[in-house]
Amino acid sequence: MATIICLSVMGVLILFLGILKKRTLLLPFILAGMLITLAIALMEWNSTGAYYHEMLVVDHLSVAFTAVLIVSTFLIFSFAGHYYRQVRRSLDDIYAIMIFALVGAVMMTAYGNLIMLFLGVETLSIALYVLAGSHKEAITSNEATLKYFLLGSFISGFLLFGIALIYGSAHSLNLREIALFIAPRANHLPPMFLAGLFLIIAGLAFKIAIFPFHFWAPDVYEGTPTLLTAFMATVVKTASIVALYRFFSHLFTGIHGVWEPTLMVLAILTILAGNLTGLYQSGLKRMLAYSSISHSGYMMLAVIAFSSQSANALLFYTISYSLATILAFAILMLVRETRGNDLFDSMNGMAKTNPLEAFCLTIAMLSLTGIPPLAGFMAKFILFATAIGNGLTGMVILAVAGSVISAVYYFKPVNAMYLKKGDGVRMDPEFSYKVHILVLTVLLVLTGILPFFLTGWL
């Protein structure tokens, strides 16, 4: 609760700094505020409890993933100064909306009531609709925000209707009371409850970009400003998958019902659709969109595995995925501003002109592929081991096959940078930018080599 209050106050203060024309203070204030908020969130680690009749719940799950969300947002803001350096107007509105979106994401990780889940989803979604269209001069940005708004609003109706049907069956919106309703009738749940369950799955699957609710992601990612796309691909995805995990882990503990095969089919189709479609992409940004879709399928394994280790596997996976994705988008921003596009051909010979940037992007691609000893490998290893331990060997085999397929498109930029001849055009980011991407690269390596620091917490 203190984290939500702190972030909300920070968002309002950012708007006041904009009114006072204190543009140079915005990013330092945000970065310092994020660190303070992170410290406040971690202080709640051992103080489990609930607020407002269990509307919000503080437990190890909510605190751990709130920390992941804050750190991811901090890393994204650390690149904002470079990304918006040529923009002359004050950016207080964009920064504040990103903070308010983070508030919605935190609510989605800590809800104890379905109304709070809906409020978190809508707080996050409305902010994203605005952020997707924040580059008003670009027709692609306008197209992205229109598609995202229309589809997102439509799917929000699914989520709200699903919540209404569950309320009509269980006569409560509190997760604990709904779980008590489910326990004695696990094998013969009312049809109205099952209908509500599948509508909620559909609503959250849209946010995570799960097949067949994934079709919006490539176009929206393509049109959204790159810095904000990184926010969507990491913070939004983490919050949504945790919301889905909290829903099933609280309501169906030890119960394997009709929802399980549904999630299994969705996960398999998502992994295959994301990886197979990613093979045909010619640009890095759109390829990362399909990469994000495939990783949604991998994360679903933690939800389906349904064991005491699922939360730890999901925590480690979201950390490694977020680090690699933010690093990839950081290099993507440099390529787009230098070349005007993100085609793989634009990266030809980058290893000679920009060896550091090429190396960092290579590490990000290898981590997303799952190559040892990087963080992505350990994340998949822990996730797959958890799934196998719970009888999901068939799914793991398909997931490994998907990872093998993904190696083809993840190596496209690596091949272009190291094996093809370029035109000698050099990217020239400032020293602080190079430090940022180097730190992320080191974190990816250390996380893979020393995974025990981030496992066993939940």
Which tens digits make up the pLDDT trace of 189-248? 888 988 998 999 999 998 888 988 888 888 888 888 889 999 999 999 999 999 999 998
For residue range 389-400, what is the model confidence (pLDDT) as tens digits?
Answer: 888 888 999 999
| Residue 153, pLDDT score | 86
Phi, psi at residue 314, to the nearest 5°? -70, -40
Give the mean pLDDT of the chain: 88
Span 59-98, pLDDT tens digits:
888 899 999 999 999 999 999 888 888 877 778 889 999 9
8 in helix, strand or coil? helix
The answer to whether residue 365 scores a pLDDT higher than 90 is yes
Cα distance from N-terminal residue to C-terminal residue, the chain: 20
Residue 379: HSE in the Cβ half-sphere, 13 Å Cα cutoff: 29
Domain ranges across the chain: 2-454
Mean pLDDT of 20-48: 87
Please, which pLDDT band fits residue 20 given cuts at 50, 70 and 90? confident
Half-sphere exposure of 191 toward its Cβ, with a 13 Å CA cutoff? 0
Structure tokens at 350: 């980058």
Residue 252 has a pLDDT of 79
349 has pLDDT over 90: no
**102 pLDDT tier (thresholds 50, 70, 90):** very high
Percent of the chain having pLDDT more than 90?
43
Whole-number Å distance between alpha carbons of 241 and 235: 10
Q: Indicate the pairing of strand 49-51 with strand 56-58.
A: antiparallel
pLDDT at 24: 81
Distance CA(382)–CA(309), nearest Å, equals: 9
Distance in angstroms (rounded) separating the CA atoms of residues 218 and 224: 10
Q: What percent of the chain shows pLDDT beyond 70?
A: 99
Q: What is the mean pLDDT of residues 40-51?
A: 83
> For position 454, what pLDDT does the model report?
76
Summarize the confidence of residues 261-273 as an average pLDDT. Answer: 91
Give the containing element (helix H, strand E) for 305: helix 284-305
Say which residue, 421 or 202, is predicted with more confidence: 202
Q: 269: Cβ–Cβ under 8 A, 6 or more apart, which residues? A: 211, 212, 297
Question: What is the Cα–Cα distance from 218 to 228, expressed in whole angstroms?
Answer: 14
Q: State how far Cα 235 lies from the chain centre.
A: 4
**pLDDT surpassing 90 at residue 183:** no
What does the DSSP assignment read for 172-237?
A: --BHHHHHHHHGGGTTS--HHHHHHHHHHHHHHHHHHT-TTS-TTHHHHHHHS-HHHHHHIIIIIH
Report the predicted TM-score, pTM, of the whole model to 2 decimal places.
0.94
Q: What pLDDT does residue 250 have?
A: 83
Phi, psi (deg, nearest 5) at residue 103: -60, -45
Q: pLDDT confidence of 254, banded at 50, 70, 90? A: low
Helix (H) or strand (E) holding 57: strand 56-58
Q: If we measure between CA atoms, which residue out of 163, 252, 250, 158 comes closest to residue 207?
A: 158
